[in-house]
Amino acid sequence: MNAHEISKKARACFKSHWCTGIALHYYFLFTTVLILAVIRVFVLFSKQRIRPFDLIYEYVPQKTREISFALILAAFLLVIYVPALFMIRRYYIVIITDKRMSTTRRFFGANLTATQKVAISCALTRVLLKSITLTPALLSSYMVYRCAFVSRLENLSTIVLIVFMLALGFTIVWAGLWIRYCISLCLAPYIITLSPKMNPFDACDLSCRLMDGAHLRYLTFWLYNLRFILPSMLLFPACLCMPIVRISYTYFVKDLLGVYWQDKYPLMIERWKRRALSL
């Protein structure tokens, strides 16, 4: 299916599940606002020097404070934001497959810890792979910085100029390859959402293989949706536009996965229901 056909199918699906789509949008908005509110409270307490923040400012160096706040923010994102995105992704899969939303919601409530572990492991795996593949570009960009801003006056020579040009070209090329690799990993969260027991590294490897040659299609899909959503948000609220885009993306992922769209959740839910009844 092309982007127009997917968008048309998503609008038809949204007409049947508009209430659920709006609820999911506000659930995502609530999660985001909650994290921002916690960050704002930390900032206000720090500025007012309320205990124990006054002791932190008095005895802890500034760089250590910044690293600590960054780690706290990362912990909030991992514990709250990432599992919320995982469940929202699952709910949209339920929407396009016409499954019972209430059963999935009860399953998440009974298996929240396991759901958090799966979501966090998938997110950490993707961050690890992206960080490792970005390292060469960071090193070469540091060489560009050294040649352009540190050595330009004292040690300007032919060798420095050659190193600068090579490092600059390598940084640009590797950054393009890194963006392409990040696009290749876009299917991994959905593969894990469909098969929670799958190894995250295997899911990333499968995503890269399935996305081979589909990068242009991925970009044209989002360009089409941006062309649709930006004028739509001038006329309609975001709670009506964003669910259509998410449903469209779920259909798009399903089309890319093809025969690899193997949803294991219905069987997991059935086993959970039988186990709950036996108890």
- What pLDDT is stored for residue 97 in this prediction? 86
Residue 187 has what pLDDT? 93
Cα(221)–Cα(209) distance, rounded to whole angstroms? 19
Residue 89 within any structural domain of the chain? yes
Q: pLDDT value at position 279?
A: 59
Residue 279 maps to a domain: no
pLDDT of residue 61: 77
Residue 209: domain span:
3-274
The pLDDT of residue 174? 93
* Low-confidence spans in the chain with pLDDT less than 50: none
pLDDT at 156: 61
Q: What is the predicted pLDDT for the residue at 274? A: 84
76 domain residue, yes or no: yes
pLDDT at residue 183, as a whole number:
94
The HSE-up count of residue 246 (CA atoms within 13 Å, CB side) is: 26
Whole-Å CA distances, 116 to 105, 180, 262, 267, 270: 14, 28, 21, 19, 20
- Residue 234: count other Cβ atoms within 10 Å of its Cβ: 7
Strands (E), the chain: none
Give pLDDT, residue 88.
93
The radius of gyration computed from the CA coordinates of the chain, to the nearest angstrom, equals: 23
Domain count, the chain: 1
pLDDT, one tens digit per residue, over 137-196 is: 999 988 888 777 766 555 566 777 787 888 889 999 999 999 999 999 999 999 999 999
Report d(CA 80, CA 74) in Å as an integer: 10
